[in-house]
Amino acid sequence: MLIALADKVRRFSYAPYSRYRVGAALLGESGNVYCGVNVENASYGLAICSERAAYVKAISEGERRFIAIAVVTDNGGSPCGACRQFMSEFGLETIVIQADAKGNYTLTTVGELLPDAFTPATLSEAKKRRARK
């Protein structure tokens, strides 16, 4: 279901520069699904990826815990580094389904995509070390 939704929303992608259309469907712990697409910008650094778009939509509606995200591209591409870091904020155990336009897919987790992630726990540990000094 997540793959089908992510693939369906890809048509709404705004990718006039790369022509690399990406759709995402994020399953929250509540059972709600939030979709996102990549949105490019003439100032390339201002583009937003489908994964972050889906997370922002979910977070803006109060969701904070996630089960899985499907990301669909023509060739089954993997989330970029910025998206991996962004997703790690909300759970390293979140399942990541990477699929291509033909429905072929692989399963992994955010933690497997971003080993040794910088997480809220990293900040807590640093704060504790400073307090001990």
Residue type at 42 in one-letter notation: A
For residue 71, CA distances in Å to 1, 6, 10, 23 come to 12, 6, 10, 6
Rounded Cα gap, residues 21 and 53, in angstroms: 13
51 is catalytic: yes
Give the active site residue among 29, 51, 89, 112: 51
The residues carrying an active-site annotation are: 51
